[in-house]
Structure 1
Amino acid sequence: MALKSICVFCGASTGANPLYREAAAAMGRSLAERGMTLVYGGGAVGLMGVVADAALAAGGQVIGIIPQSLKDAEIGHPGLTRLEVVDGMHARKARMAELADAFVALPGGLGTLEELFEVWTWGQLGYHAKPLGLLDVGGFYAGLGQFLDHLVEEGFVRAQYREMLQREATPEALLERLEAWQPSVAAKWSARAPR
């Protein structure tokens, strides 16, 4: 699958481990080097600012989508290829999803997880057929991976939907897996297909 634009979800903080900042910068550079456009939340702070700055410094295109309220708080990135201002968080997520061919979550907090799980749910429901990935820097997402496997074991998530979420430790490996990903042709859960 030829991916032209990647939506990156990540923290408005840089986190406690310097590895997170390094990984965000590496992701921005990797996207630019592959000619992929970065689509993200438009912020200049935390890992959001790091990934955007790295993509721009490497000659990449960066599109930010930010709600007016956050832009007014002066955290909007002033140097992007394009900054779109929207009415609120729902509009922000919908627009990022519209522009992206795939989704990646870097380390982050509640907002990062909420964005990831929403687009993952949309994929499960058949609203899109776009790959998703976790950049698992220093094992940041190892515990989440175990919990997601537990959801499969307990019958709350089908294995085909669990497999939609790719996980790698480096941007290069993750982007390669996302490009190789193929949507499942299995019946949707709503079809009440046998397990």
Structure 2
Amino acid sequence: MSDKITVGSIAGAYGVKGEVRIKSFCADPGAIADYLPFVTEAGRTFSQLVLTGETKGALIGRLDGITTKEEADALRGTALLADRDRLPSLPDDEFYHTDLIGLPVHDTGGSLLGTVKAVHDHGAGDLLEIHGPGLKATVLLPFTRAAVPTVDLTAGRIIADPPPGTFPEDGE
């Protein structure tokens, strides 16, 4: 498990004075400021975030060191990572997406189905995007207790009982 968790991303500039639009990945979007400092994949650190408002699908805020629209726009798409130990512990049946990505997925008989490439939520619940050998395209598996009865982070694997037709049968 990584010691950093992506808590949000910069969606671009808001206005002309260096404010940014931030997509928060937190259960309570405004709680993102509780997890400072942020670091980016490029190694830049932000120690301050002042939330100044909301817009459709994003928060508006000021990050230290960003004072112009151009600087804010240059950060579009930048992930904001926080130290795992700053985040709350999760109940046994909840997981940080970053902990699921890369885990092998086996069926209940032990056969490898693939590996988790991404976790998506389009509003109707989480979906695991699975790819692997023998799959012509990625497969979206509902991340429900029925379809995914076991997530074992300690052993580093997921056991799935996918609905019929989710994965192609041999020869398809």
Fold match (TM-score > 0.5): no
Query: Greater strand percent: which structure?
Result: 2
Query: Greater helix percent: which structure?
Result: 1
TM-score after normalising by structure 1:
0.28
Which structure exhibits the higher relative contact order, with contacts defined as CA atoms closer than 8 Å and separated by 6 or more residues? 1
TM-score after normalising by structure 2:
0.30
Return the index of the structure with the highest Cα Rg: 2
